[in-house]
Structure 1
């Protein structure tokens, strides 16, 4: 009797174990994260972050050869997804943008310095949607951006006049005033350099260990607070003074055609609005840019009695090809701005957890040899239909971001780039320096990349072209400086 009881007890226990295993086996297993290097205890993949002064896009591209087009690392519990494929980036960030459109909290650049108030760093919330809606209304379409054509033409005209009088400093003459209606404040460049350095996730240790923000400046070896205060001052000088200036001009009945002034006219009452738009050109001076061919096209279509404008764009296919090649060849934001997932997701069989940081290697999208033939060469012809070949992928599909985070000022930026290139080529010869050496074009690392200074010989194409440049001063006269008002606004605040 006892043996029978033991038998039935064992049988029942076996059944329970079998049923339990079946139930556990029927529960779907959560997919793994995308592959990546193995981390170490506590800090994870801290040592796999890009070293200082290293071009981040090149660093992250190494993971593609080791783990494929999508990979991941984990740093102090923060999952980072790296995408080295345009198709995958488009599928995740365009088609699933409802799940992957927010921004991470970057402690140094965002909360400590103040860039979190800018549209680019703002999380995907009601404030972001309101500001983006305002920007879309002002500059989000070709029709809306056309309101700024004359303003942008005036800026290029002043640039050409500066280059004519002082060609050695042509890199210093690249300034933009479309935002506040006056020349950019002298600290604008430093403010942008600061966000370039601090905007890369993990660039400062405080991004990984937020408690470090409370370490006092007198603590040995801690210069964080001092660095932060300098960045805050530069950002405030760059944003608050010009914004207060526009409000002053608006209240005085001296509104101009600037974006912020138009925003005030339609009733935006937020005191926090800070908008920046960045353009980059000058990459066309590389070996491979057929400036003579572009000039012949301009001469044939436009002549030499006026400068090309945005209405001529459709008639200048080679110049347009140069614009696209500039966008592709020298990316302003090589890794874009990082995205944050707001919900768990499964993509390509991999688990994308909520709050994962997603980085798209836009530089590689533009230099993928399977998409762009001979990608390191500056070759505008790749975007023309020649000899029965289809043009290569248009860089506009990736250079301005993805999904709900695509740059709202992309039309305005693209117009500015076209005008700078077309009008400069129309009247200037851009050649190698006096030694005939091809300049070595070096690009800075960081969130925003730009060419290092280089030498070039820039001269008017002819006396007639020089006269055409001089005539721009009458068409777009210099305005009286209001810098003293800007400084007064800063003192008042």
Structure 2
């Protein structure tokens, strides 16, 4: 057996060191991904879109290729326009790309205490992820809340029957009611409920402030250290207002749960169960619970609203899709009851419609940023340590090489049939990537080119959107608004921000029949 002498061992170490240095040199001699030409010092600061960034990112992708990059005052931003690249980097190499970039406005407001901005190596991240997964991350976990979703969605139908002109308010009330009951066991009293309004405002502020190009302080962090009397620091006053609202949204619902538990009247919820599981809570752990509950509350109260509102807009624009879905519901369920969670596997077309809602309207179209924790190389491109990685979700969901006629709303694209293979399930891109995937999403996050069966794990957002679509289709006809005999069709635009909503639109909503109207009144009640 050969003996390794000290000299040959040293040679081995030197050889490995040489390979490491050679690899580092080769990586750093690779070009960064292409993109717009930068200016001296400013880089691409002036190229950074201020609104609907995903449209600009998609256009850059057409011009420079699917992987694009810019530099803003020395900060490298890499934009991924194709799903396969996001999967390769953010899923398969998640150890490198699971951190979040530092955002000064996040620290000023307090968003850095939410899971979405918690560093991946932080113990809080794993603790809260585990809590979320156990509470809402699987079909089994979500099944204990199905009755809440069904009851609140039935109430949504009643509100819509009485005041159809307040569609968006009713959607927001229902989404807020579902998530706040699940999170805190609290029953809101309508669209003007204080807790629901706090969550709505918190997400509006987050959507506006966390957009990478929205505030100059996010591009020039040094501005955060300037005194408020200096020009250009108005964001500090805004941040204080946002922080006050956020603090109330975190503290008040948690206080409600503690008071109800002390009285012995608390409805089971994620927060009450978490408190019961840790009877000796110290202040640090209690703070984590407060922020974890608020993250579920705020996220679920806003993102689901955008998806359901998009469904109604799509039904106005695509009446033939509506009729086809209604025919399936009529054949499977009839008009003796409303659809329920248990009907989902029997309604393949309605399921496909829900998938098309997630694809057609991207709730987080510009993606939530990731950060590279070390120098890396991908497809001949150098990605420097500290680079911000932005998955352009809207661009992926509207990629014509993946989805035929991507601007059209077509649920049939997800149904396999002889001679046709279904297009990829959009939930694999809609809810984020890798180890930062939305905890309210399906727990089976897979490559977007792997077909998901209809009985895969579904969680909070998925179930809520399915119920709203199925129940509304069962009892209402949704049609275009007419004025002076002229049909007014909506546009398909989206609002700017991290969380994007469909632009407002006019519509007509009426009960399908007297039987449908009776059905609305007999199931669920305020």
Tell me the TM-score normalised to structure 2 length.
Answer: 0.82
User: 1:62-211 to 2 correspondence within 5 Å?
Assistant: 62-108=59-105, 110-125=106-121, 126-175=123-172, 176-177=176-177, 178=179, 179-182=183-186, 183=188, 184-211=195-222
Report the 3-state secondary structure (helix = DSSP H, G, I; strand = E; otherwise coil) of the residue aligned with 1:430.
strand
Looking at structure 2, the residues matched to 339 and 246 of structure 1 have their Cα atoms a distance apart, in angstroms, of 34
Report the counterpart of residue 412 of structure 1 in structure 2: 460
Report the 3-state secondary structure (helix = DSSP H, G, I; strand = E; otherwise coil) of the residue aligned with 1:334.
coil
Instruction: Give 1 or 2 for the bigger CA radius of gyration.
Output: 1
Q: Is the 8 A contact 2:341 2:463 kept in 1?
A: yes
**CA offset at residue 166 of structure 1?**
0.7
Looking at structure 2, the residues matched to 307 and 82 of structure 1 have their Cα atoms a distance apart, in angstroms, of 44
Q: Is the 8 A contact 1:217 1:224 kept in 2?
A: no
Q: Is the 8 A contact 2:479 2:507 kept in 1?
A: yes
Q: Is the 8 A contact 1:122 1:128 kept in 2?
A: yes
Report the counterpart of residue 223 of structure 2 in structure 1: 212
Report the counterpart of residue 424 of structure 1 in structure 2: 472
Alpha-carbon spacing, 1:302–1:27, altered in 2? closer, same or farther (3 Å): closer
Report the 3-state secondary structure (helix = DSSP H, G, I; strand = E; otherwise coil) of the residue aligned with 1:281.
helix
Answering whether residue 249 of structure 2 is matched by residue 243 of structure 1, we say: no
The farther-off stretch of 277-286 and 305-314 is: 277-286
**CA offset at residue 191 of structure 1?**
1.6
Q: Is the 8 A contact 2:223 2:233 kept in 1?
A: no
The farther-off stretch of 228-237 and 292-301 is: 228-237
**CA offset at residue 283 of structure 1?**
2.1
Report the 3-state secondary structure (helix = DSSP H, G, I; strand = E; otherwise coil) of the residue aligned with 1:271.
helix
1:261-304, CA deviations, whole angstroms, 9 ceiling, x for partnerless residues? 33323327431323232312132332225111111111111111
1:56-88, CA deviations, whole angstroms, 9 ceiling, x for partnerless residues? 100111221232111211112211111111111
The farther-off stretch of 28-37 and 316-325 is: 28-37
1:176-196, CA deviations, whole angstroms, 9 ceiling, x for partnerless residues? 232333335223222211111
Looking at structure 2, the residues matched to 154 and 306 of structure 1 have their Cα atoms a distance apart, in angstroms, of 13
- Root mean square deviation of aligned Cα: 2.0
Looking at structure 2, the residues matched to 440 and 353 of structure 1 have their Cα atoms a distance apart, in angstroms, of 40
Alpha-carbon spacing, 1:25–1:464, altered in 2? closer, same or farther (3 Å): closer
1:450 maps to which of 481, 494, 501: 501
Answering whether residue 519 of structure 2 is matched by residue 468 of structure 1, we say: yes
**CA offset at residue 27 of structure 1?**
8.7
Structure 2: 5+ residue stretches without partners: 1-20, 189-194, 442-458
Alpha-carbon spacing, 1:195–1:253, altered in 2? closer, same or farther (3 Å): same
Looking at structure 1, the residues matched to 411 and 24 of structure 2 have their Cα atoms a distance apart, in angstroms, of 55
1:429-448, CA deviations, whole angstroms, 9 ceiling, x for partnerless residues? 11111333222343101111
Report the 3-state secondary structure (helix = DSSP H, G, I; strand = E; otherwise coil) of the residue aligned with 1:254.
coil
1:467-492, CA deviations, whole angstroms, 9 ceiling, x for partnerless residues? 1111223xxx43xxxxxxxxxxxxxx
Report the 3-state secondary structure (helix = DSSP H, G, I; strand = E; otherwise coil) of the residue aligned with 1:342.
coil
**CA offset at residue 147 of structure 1?**
1.0
Report the 3-state secondary structure (helix = DSSP H, G, I; strand = E; otherwise coil) of the residue aligned with 2:497.
coil
Report the 3-state secondary structure (helix = DSSP H, G, I; strand = E; otherwise coil) of the residue aligned with 1:434.
strand
Answering whether residue 29 of structure 2 is matched by residue 36 of structure 1, we say: no
Answering whether residue 286 of structure 2 is matched by residue 270 of structure 1, we say: yes
1:19-71, CA deviations, whole angstroms, 9 ceiling, x for partnerless residues? xxxxx999943222112223222221111211x3x211001112212321112
1:329-356, CA deviations, whole angstroms, 9 ceiling, x for partnerless residues? 0010002210011122111122222211
Aligned length: 449
Structure 1: 5+ residue stretches without partners: 1-23, 479-493
1:117-151, CA deviations, whole angstroms, 9 ceiling, x for partnerless residues? 11112111221111001111111111111111011
**CA offset at residue 225 of structure 1?**
2.1
Tell me the TM-score normalised to structure 1 length.
Answer: 0.87
Report the counterpart of residue 288 of structure 1 in structure 2: 318
The farther-off stretch of 204-213 and 316-325 is: 204-213
Q: Is the 8 A contact 1:331 1:399 kept in 2?
A: yes
**CA offset at residue 260 of structure 1?**
2.3
Report the 3-state secondary structure (helix = DSSP H, G, I; strand = E; otherwise coil) of the residue aligned with 2:68.
strand
Looking at structure 1, the residues matched to 379 and 83 of structure 2 have their Cα atoms a distance apart, in angstroms, of 14
**CA offset at residue 230 of structure 1?**
1.6
**CA offset at residue 221 of structure 1?**
5.7
**CA offset at residue 364 of structure 1?**
0.9
Looking at structure 2, the residues matched to 394 and 27 of structure 1 have their Cα atoms a distance apart, in angstroms, of 38
